[in-house]
Amino acid sequence: MPPLIQLLRPHQWVKNGFVFAGLLFSHSWGDPVLVTQAVLAFVAFCLVSSAVYVMNDLLDREQDRRHPEKCRRPLASGTVSVPAALVLAGICLLLGLGLALGLFAAAGAPASQAPWIFVAYFLLNVAYSLGLKHVVVLDVFIIAAGFMLRLLAGTLGLGIWPSHWLLLCGLMLTLFLGFAKRRAELNVLMADSGQHRRVLDQYTPAMLDQFTTLSAGATMMAYSLYTVSAETIALHGTPWLIATVPCVLYGLLRYLYRLHRAGGGGDPAREVLTDPHLLGTFILWLALVIWLLA
Indicate the pLDDT class of residue 287, thresholds 50, 70 and 90.
Answer: very high
The answer to whether the CB of 148 falls within 8 A of the CB of 171 is yes
Compute the distance between CA of residue 96 and CA of residue 102 in angstroms, rounded to an integer. Answer: 10
Start-to-end Cα distance in the chain: 39
Q: Which of 128, 162, 196 is the last residue of a domain?
A: 162
Residue type, 173: L
Alpha helices by DSSP H, 99-197:
104-106, 115-130, 138-153, 164-189, 193-196
Mean pLDDT of the region 157-175 = 91
One domain for residues 179 and 148 = no
**One domain for residues 66 and 10:** yes
Same domain, 208 and 230: yes
User: Which amino acid, 70?
Assistant: K
**Which range is least confidently modeled, 66-70, 129-133, 245-249?**
66-70
Instruction: State which of 140, 162, 184 marks the end of a domain.
Output: 162
Give the confidence band of 103 by pLDDT, cuts at 50, 70, 90. low
Strands (E), the chain: none
Q: Are residues 102 and 216 in the same domain?
A: no
> Are 191 and 152 found together in one domain?
no
Looking at residue 253, its amino acid is L
Residue 148 and residue 180 in one domain: no
On whether both 173 and 138 belong to a single domain, the answer is no
Residues 150 and 241 in one domain: no
Look at residues 127, 144, 162 and tell me which one is the last residue of a structural domain: 162
Residues 273, 181 share a domain: yes
| DSSP reduced 3-state for 8 | coil
13 and 140 part of one domain: yes
Residue bearing the bigger pLDDT, 97 or 195: 97
**110 pLDDT above the threshold of 70:** no
Name the nearest CA neighbour of 121 among 159, 154, 87, 148: 148
pLDDT band at 144 (very low <50, low <70, confident <90, very high): very high
- Please indicate, yes or no, whether residues 52 and 195 belong to a single structural domain of this protein: no
Distance CA 256, CA 212 (A): 9
Structural domain containing residue 40: 1-162
| 204 CB-contact burial (10 Å; exposed 0-12 / middle 13-18 / buried 19+) | exposed
Name the 3-class secondary structure at 34.
Answer: helix
Kindly report the pTM of this predicted structure: 0.88
Q: What CATH number does residue 112 fall under?
A: 1.10.357.140
Q: Read off the pLDDT of residues 190-241 as tens digits, 9 standing for 90 and up.
A: 645 445 567 888 899 999 999 999 999 999 999 999 999 999 999 899 999 9
If one counts the domains in the chain, the total is 2
In a shared domain, residues 80 and 132: yes
